[in-house]
Amino acid sequence: MKKILIIISLLVISFYLYSQNSTLTVFAQDGEKFWLVLNGVKQNNEPVYRVENIQINTDYAKMKILFENSDLSSLDKHFPAKDADGNYCTFTYNIKKNKKGIYVVRMVSFEKITSTTQTSSNVVSDNTSSTGTTTSTTGTTTIKGTTTQSSITNQGKSDNLGVSINANESGVSMNITGTDGQENVNMNMNLNMNNANVTSSTTTTVTTSTTTTSSSGNYNQQNQEVVYVSGYNGPVGCPIPMSEYDFNSAKSSISSKDFEDSKLTMAKQIVGSNCLLASQVKEIMRIFEYEDTRLEFAKYAYKRTYDKGNYYKVNDAFEFELTIDELNEFIENH
């Protein structure tokens, strides 16, 4: 009986933890093969044209597409891994060419994960019995906001076990009650997803003695906060700023353009799908020749800047005080 209780506990915990993730599917519309890198981890060993059901266990995600064709530039995409209400979702992204013939990554759909249902039937052999006694388990478990009743009957021992599971966004609780011959068993388990602490207690009563055991364990699900700007505690405009490597590559692409308008268009495209630091915005501004272009870009990039509280640093790229005043007025109005 106790072995069965332990197995059930581990299965519930494992299943619940697994279900509390968003998932990501990415495919190439025209069949180009690629590698998917999610939060710095390559997800497929060989280039493919479709990657499905990748688990995301962070609030925000950074996706990079590396094409098998080395002539195609890599693509970067930052996106929140939950909806506006903090719900886990299934995301689908498409790799395709835009109207200008440039490869882009675009969201096709996302759907809130409301429930996950699993029905299982298992047979467990009891090796301690010379008669080959078996335990049959039947049950239906619905995760998130529901309560499930299951029963386990151990043939030959007149065992009867009832399982009640209640799961929601904040955690999962399980209560097991039943009889094992002359033993009465009661087990309560609570899994709190906020502090990742699991506590369980089991009480077994026999006609001649009573034994109470309790155990606790920690499941490490701490999301360590990543500091992108040392000592910065101000407002954040976007989740994950560009890496130094990606930023230098983007800056080189902007600088390679011959005309001011082309440079500005390229810079806006990069900022539109990425997150920058205030210092990176200033570096791009210095690529432009004209004050008006620098101001236009500074206004455009403000909402896509990680450390918005440091945006005063971009003023160093301006030549005139009137331009700084106009930017400040824009920021105050937004």
* pLDDT tens digits along 21-37: 889 999 998 999 999 99
Lowest mean pLDDT among 48-62, 109-123, 221-235, 311-325: 109-123
Stretch 55-67: mean pLDDT, rounded? 90
Task: Report the distance separating Cα 207 and Cα 68, nearest Å.
Answer: 69
Which range, of 219-223, 225-229, 255-259, averages the lowest pLDDT?
219-223
Q: What is the pLDDT of residue 33?
A: 94
pLDDT at 100: 85
User: What is the band of 186 on the pLDDT scale with cuts at 50, 70, 90?
Assistant: low
Amino acid 191: pLDDT? 56
pLDDT exceeding 70 applies to what percent of the chain? Answer: 60
pLDDT over threshold 60, residue 197:
no
232-277: per-residue pLDDT in tens? 888 999 988 999 999 999 999 999 999 999 999 999 999 998 999 9
Grade residue 57 by pLDDT with cuts at 50, 70 and 90. Answer: confident
Residues 262-317 have pLDDT tens digits of: 999 999 999 998 999 999 999 999 999 999 999 999 999 999 999 999 999 999 99
- Calpha distance 296→20 (Å, rounded): 42
Encode pLDDT of 98-156 as tens digits.
Answer: 888 899 998 888 788 875 433 333 333 333 333 444 444 444 433 344 444 444 445 44
Predicted confidence at residue 11, as pLDDT, reads 59
Q: How far is C-alpha 36 from the chain's CA centre?
A: 15
Mean pLDDT of the chain: 74
Own/partner pairs, 311-315, CB within 8 angstroms, 24+ separation: 311/278, 311/281, 312/278, 313/278, 313/279, 313/282, 314/278, 314/281, 314/282, 314/285
Rounded Cα gap, residues 54 and 65, in angstroms:
14
pLDDT > 90 in the chain, percent: 40
Q: Describe the strand order of the beta sheet including 89-97 as a list of residue ranges.
A: 50-56, 22-28, 89-97, 103-112
Minimum mean pLDDT range among 17-26, 154-163, 181-190: 154-163
pLDDT at 21: 83
| pLDDT at site 79 | 84
pLDDT of residue 60: 83
- pLDDT of 210 above 50: no
> What band does 167 get if pLDDT is binned at 50, 70 and 90?
low
Return the pLDDT at 141. 39
Higher pLDDT, 230 or 332: 332
The pLDDT value recorded for residue 20 is 66
pLDDT at 220: 41
- Report pLDDT for 175: 64
pLDDT score at 46: 93
**pLDDT score for 166:** 59
Please, are residues 32 and 95 in contact by the beta-carbon 8 Å criterion?
A: yes
**Single-letter amino acid code for the residue at 173:** S
pLDDT of residue 214: 42
| CB within 8 Å of 140: residues ≥ 6 apart | 117, 118, 119, 148, 150
